[in-house]
């Protein structure tokens, strides 16, 4: 795998600026629960899609976005897990660690499920086309 320093630098800048902007919003919005919405802003996804589209093509950008959707489903499960664990364990560090592990495995499961459903749909479409 060849590492492109320009690509990596631009991803770092775009992602970092998005995270910094979200942090500013978190500090300015009085309702911290509402401000928490911005803590979930997909800064890394936006930077990755921009760079994949810029240095690659739309198909590569779509693949990144597809994977990001699985990661975001996993993120939802991660947040529920973190909240549940913090309420019941009372240890935020341990709760966060458990939630991150749950995020990884639930994201992996989501992408496998999504790919399986897309393949099934593609096969159904192809079989319908052959019937006509």
pLDDT in tens, the chain (132 residues): 577 788 778 878 877 787 777 777 777 877 766 666 666 667 677 777 877 788 788 888 888 888 888 888 999 999 999 999 999 999 999 999 999 999 999 999 999 999 999 899 888 888 887 776
Q: Residue 62's pLDDT is what?
A: 86
Could you tell me the residue ranges of all domains in the chain? 1-55, 58-131
Q: Residue 132's pLDDT is what?
A: 67
Distance from the first to the final alpha carbon of the chain: 44
Q: Residue 83's pLDDT is what?
A: 94
Q: Residue 64's pLDDT is what?
A: 82
What would the DSSP string read from start to end of 26-54?
Answer: HHH-S-HHHHHHHHT--HHHHHHHHHHHH
The H or E element that residue 91 is part of is none
Global pTM reads: 0.67
């Amino acid at each position: 795998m060849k590492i492109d320093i320009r690509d990596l630098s631009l991803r770092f800048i775009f992602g970092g600026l998005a995270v910094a902007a979200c942090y500013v919003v978190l500090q300015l919005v009085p309702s911290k629960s509402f401000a928490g919405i911005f803590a979930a802003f997909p800064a890394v996804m936006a930077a990755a899609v921009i760079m994949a589209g810029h240095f690659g093509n739309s198909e590569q950008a779509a693949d990144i976005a597809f994977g990001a959707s699985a990661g975001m489903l996993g993120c939802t499960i991660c947040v529920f897990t973190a909240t549940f664990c913090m309420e019941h364990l009372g240890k935020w560090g341990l709760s966060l660690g458990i939630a991150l592990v749950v995020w990884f495995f639930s994201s992996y499961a989501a992408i496998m499920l999504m790919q399986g459903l897309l393949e099934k749909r593609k096969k159904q479409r192809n079989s319908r086309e052959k019937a006509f």
